[in-house]
């Protein structure tokens, strides 16, 4: 499980069940297991500090590289 955090302020955003060792390009909503502090505005996913983390694409969030960091382990697919 990964803990996704804002790169700017390091706040926790959500916990994500990442399968496989690839880059985190998308977060599928069905695999977001815990929600922390973030908000949505139109289709933007924003940290409470105001930085945009990703774009809401419906079933998944398209992540913006360099706007987030993560800790934890990816799961073997």
- Could you list the residues that contact Zn ion (CB under 5 A)? 6, 8-9, 11, 47, 49, 51
39 or 75, CB closer to Zn ion? 39
6 or 27, CB closer to Zn ion? 6
9 or 19, CB closer to Zn ion? 9
Shortest distance in whole angstroms from residue 75 CB to Zn ion: 26
Shortest distance in whole angstroms from residue 26 CB to Zn ion: 20
Element (H, E) at 6: strand 2-6
**CA proximity to 76, closest of 17, 32, 3:** 17
For every residue of 26-55, DSSP letters joined together read EEEGGGEEEE-S-EEETTEEE-TTS-EEEE
């Amino acid at each position: 499980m990964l803990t996704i955090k804002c790169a700017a302020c390091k706040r926790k955003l959500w916990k994500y069940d990442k399968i496989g060792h690839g880059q985190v390009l998308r977060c599928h909503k069905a695999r977001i297991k815990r929600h922390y502090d973030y908000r949505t505005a139109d289709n933007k996913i924003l940290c409470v500090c105001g930085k945009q983390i990703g774009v809401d694409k419906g079933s998944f969030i398209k992540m913006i590289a360099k706007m987030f960091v993560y800790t934890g382990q990816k799961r073997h697919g």
